């Protein structure tokens, strides 16, 4: 059985970035994904300024034709409203996730990565030989085994690998579920994303190229997912900031649901295996910086993989990666968890809304911080 240097499981942004970094370092890399690209993916469809900087540093520009995003509008109960803008000359980009992912897969192929689509990975295990891992996958109704010196699992927040090995767990509280859908002919869109936070749910809105609008409703009530169409329609109709703007809005495609959203992870991997992207931990998408965290986390995982293979020390790689993730991403993840908890508390949300009506300065600073919007 031929042996690759690294098998990356998952062809989203994290998997592609990890594969590109490793292939550019001269390794033989194979990337597996259960989908065939392009494929739809529930996402906020925005890359914040920090995410764009990482991609640009890697010489990648998959969203350069995306709509410019210059900040975020945040509203709360009782008419609380604040708009946070990025510094002059600093922007994010809004682009449909299916387009972004397809372009990154193409970039990975261009970097020399072997792409295998339609491959559902069933298991990852060591086979008793030093530094050899076996990946078992189903491809076109047939089972295949592939060998590699190392495996990176970047197969998302519901990672079969991470959950199967008990490396991750869904957060105990707050539990939230998301439903997303695209619309056309929505009025009042501008060059910023929107987040409308209410007790029990929030609504994210983002303009996209081609006249599309991304709408995502995140709710604490799982029973509402029984009728996702009604959930989105009811949320829009009951929101003063949105109801009039969607009078002529027409849905495109079917709604997509997922959840529970938040995933916690203590150690991102095991012997011969590292986790990257949302597989290494996922926070609610309300902060808008999920793709930046996933992309940068993938870079860290790729660097840890290279170091492990160079040293011949695969045992301690997960612990080293955990330390680096805490050092670089820990503060941001803790901040996101605090926001997640506050937004899940009716009393805290009302207090924050009252404070915002007095001064919008705190919200403006939070938008800049979460957007990694420092100039330069």
Q: What is the pLDDT of residue 11?
A: 97
- Residues 15 and 6: beta-carbon distance below 8 Å: no
Q: What is the pLDDT of residue 2?
A: 61
- Residues 268 and 321: beta-carbon distance below 8 Å: yes
Q: What is the pLDDT of residue 376?
A: 46
Higher per-residue confidence, 24 vs 144: 24
Q: Count CA within 13 A, CB hemisphere, residue 250.
A: 4
* End-to-end C-alpha distance for the chain, whole angstroms: 48
Q: Mean pLDDT throughout 136-158?
A: 93
Considering the entire predicted model, what is its pTM? 0.94
177-258+345-370 CATH: 3.30.9.100
Q: Where are the domains of the chain?
A: 3-45+96-171+262-341, 177-258+345-370
Task: Give the fold, CATH level 3, of 3-45+96-171+262-341.
Answer: FAD/NAD(P)-binding domain (3.50.50)
Using CA atoms, how far residue 315 sits from 127, 164, 265, 282, in Å, is 15, 19, 18, 24
pLDDT tens readout for residues 75-96 = 998 889 999 999 999 999 999 9
Backbone Cα Rg of the chain: 21
Give yes or no for residue 6 having a pLDDT over 90.
yes
Residue 130: band (very low, low, confident or very high) from pLDDT cuts 50, 70, 90: low
**For the purposes of burial, counting CB atoms within 10 Å of the CB of 144, is it exposed (0-12), middle (13-18) or buried (19 or more)?**
middle
């Amino acid at each position: 059985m031929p042996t690759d240097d690294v098998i990356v499981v998952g062809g989203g942004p994290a998997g592609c970035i990890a594969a590109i970094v490793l292939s550019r370092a001269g390794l033989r890399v194979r990337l597996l994904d259960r989908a065939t690209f392009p494929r739809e993916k529930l996402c906020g469809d925005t890359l914040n300024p920090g995410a764009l900087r990482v991609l640009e540093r890697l010489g990648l520009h998959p969203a350069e034709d995306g709509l410019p995003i210059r900040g975020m509008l945040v509203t709360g109960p009782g008419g609380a409203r604040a708009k946070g803008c990025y510094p002059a000359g600093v922007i994010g980009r809004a682009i449909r996730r299916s387009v972004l992912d397809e372009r990154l897969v193409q970039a990975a192929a261009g970097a020399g990565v072997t792409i295998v689509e339609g491959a559902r990975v069933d298991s990852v295990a060591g086979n008793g030989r030093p530094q050899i891992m076996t990946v078992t996958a189903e491809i076109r109704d047939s089972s295949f085994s592939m060998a590699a010196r190392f495996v990176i699992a970047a197969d998302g927040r519901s990672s079969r690998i991470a959950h199967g090995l008990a490396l991750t767990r869904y957060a105990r509280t707050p539990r939230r579920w998301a439903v997303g859908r695209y619309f056309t002919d929505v009025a009042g869109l501008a060059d910023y994303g929107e987040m409308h936070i209410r007790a029990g749910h929030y609504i994210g809105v983002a303009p996209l190229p081609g006249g599309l609008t991304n709408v995502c409703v995140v709710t604490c009530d799982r029973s509402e997912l029984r009728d996702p169409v009604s959930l989105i329609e009811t949320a829009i109709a009951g929101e003063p900031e949105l109801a009039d703007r969607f009078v002529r809005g027409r849905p495109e495609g079917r709604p997509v649901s997922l959840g529970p959203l938040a995933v916690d992870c203590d150690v991102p991997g095991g012997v011969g295996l590292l986790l990257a992207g949302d597989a290494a931990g996922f926070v609610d998408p309300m902060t808008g910086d999920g793709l930046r965290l996933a992309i940068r986390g993938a870079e860290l995982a790729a660097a840890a993989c290279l170091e492990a293979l160079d040293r011949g020390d695969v045992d301690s790689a997960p612990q080293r990666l955990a330390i680096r993730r805490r050092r670089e991403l820990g503060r941001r993840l803790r901040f996101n968890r605090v926001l997640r908890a506050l937004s899940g508390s009716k009393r805290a949300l009302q207090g924050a809304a009252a404070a915002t009506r007095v001064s919008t300065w705190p919200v403006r600073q939070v938008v800049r911080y979460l957007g990694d919007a420092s100039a330069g």
